[in-house]
Amino acid sequence: MKVSEKLEAIIVEAKSHIELVKNLNELNDAKAKYLGKKGSFSDVMKLMRDLPNEDRPMFGKVTNEAKQVILGYIEEQRNILEQQIVNEKLSKETVDVTLPGREFTVGVKHILTQVIEEMEDLFIGMGYEIMEGPEVEIDEYNFEKLNLPKDHPARDMQDSFYITDDTLLRTHTSSVQVRTMLANKEKTPIKIICPGTVFRRDDDDATHSHQFMQIEGLVVDEKASMADLKGTLLEVARKMFGEDRKIRLRPSYFPFTEPSVEVDVSCHNCNGKGCNVCKGTGWIEILGSGIVNDNVLEACGYDSKKYQGFAFGIGVERMAMLRYGINDIRAFYTNDLRFIKQFKKWKKT
């Protein structure tokens, strides 16, 4: 058989073989079969040895051309196979954009947290610092330094959970007043609020809970008057219940403030005319406050001749109940999602 015929035969075979190859591995095998060291071409090349010198260049040229043709087939098939791989991948990874999306549920901050954060924003804006204090408190800070010595009758106002004779679950956040003053030793001004949980021995019902939250406020400076207190509390009332609210102060009693006042806000429901929210009075009680009692200043290391202060205690649940018309304090703690989720779309007033 002539060399050219032999090459022709290899080309024909290679073409039909390569066209049928199904993957890249098989393609590599085919390449080896025809062009590799032990492939069909090496056999042909062996023929060159028997040729006269003058015929060799021609032989080389022809075999080379044949090789190129086969390489061409291989490359063509490689392109086809690679394209197939891409197509398969694309069809597997197709996203059906018409499918409905998976819902991503975003949590809701508890309404009490929302109220506290809103208050914090307000007070930070007025230059206050946010403090924290322990929920397990010593009697000295919860009562004694607040002008409530042992056996003082006013202790009955705040029935407590005692852990030992001298430690208890704090009955109010006012203990943080004591802690702050003791830590500052006549440094002024003090301007703090302290949100936190407090505990009292109470039977739970719609308006009583053995655990609830307060936001304590304390300002101590060389001058801190009733007028300053009133202006501050007016801001609180307006932030919580709307810009047109008015407040009024009623005389009250707390051992740690003198004079003491209870603060009412004009009813946001009826605008002061009288309705069931304000029990017909036009006013709603929102917090207790007063001018820091001299005994408290002295007990906490401040010269009462030189310094004055005012303090207040805001009931967080009470604020939220009034604002949203919630009539059972237990709703805050029983974790019924239907209750909690209502405050998702909560809007600032």
Q: Which residues bind ligand PHE (CB under 6 A)?
A: 172, 174, 254, 257, 288-290, 311-313
Q: Which is nearer to ligand PHE, 77 or 289 (CB)?
A: 289
Q: Which is nearer to ligand PHE, 14 or 176 (CB)?
A: 176
CB 230 → ligand PHE: shortest distance, Å? 14
CB 237 → ligand PHE: shortest distance, Å? 16
Q: Is the peptide bond before 52 cis (omega within 30 degrees of 0)?
A: no
* Positions of E strands within the chain: 129-130, 136-138, 167-169, 190-199, 211-221, 247-254, 257-266, 283-292, 308-315
Tokens of 174: 């006012």
Distance in angstroms (rounded) separating the CA atoms of residues 28 and 248: 93
Q: Which is nearer to ligand PHE, 30 or 116 (CB)?
A: 116
Q: Kindly give, in sequence order, each residue whose CB lies less than 8 Å from that of residue 75, ignoring residues fewer than 6 positions away.
A: none
Q: Which is nearer to ligand PHE, 7 or 116 (CB)?
A: 116
Maximum alpha-carbon separation in the chain = 131
CB 279 → ligand PHE: shortest distance, Å? 21
Tokens of 12: 């024909």
CB 159 → ligand PHE: shortest distance, Å? 12
Q: Which is nearer to ligand PHE, 27 or 261 (CB)?
A: 261
How would you label 7-21 residue by residue, b for 16+ Cβ within 10 Å and e otherwise? Answer: beebbeebbebbeeb
Hey, what amino acid is at 50?
D
CB 273 → ligand PHE: shortest distance, Å? 29
Tokens of 230: 């009133």
Radius of gyration (Cα) for the chain, nearest Å?
44
CB 155 → ligand PHE: shortest distance, Å? 12
Distance in angstroms (rounded) separating the CA atoms of residues 4 and 16: 19
CB 179 → ligand PHE: shortest distance, Å? 14
Q: Which is nearer to ligand PHE, 311 or 321 (CB)?
A: 311
Tokens of 85: 């791989």
DSSP characters over 65-120 = HHHHHHHHHHHHHHHHHHHHHHHHHHHHT---TTSPPPP-PPP---HHHHHHHHHH
Q: Which is nearer to ligand PHE, 44 or 320 (CB)?
A: 320
Residue nearest to ligand PHE (CB): 313
CB 268 → ligand PHE: shortest distance, Å? 22
Q: Which is nearer to ligand PHE, 133 or 313 (CB)?
A: 313
Distance in angstroms (rounded) separating the CA atoms of residues 297 and 231: 22
Q: Which is nearer to ligand PHE, 147 or 257 (CB)?
A: 257
3-state SS class at 238: helix
CB 121 → ligand PHE: shortest distance, Å? 21
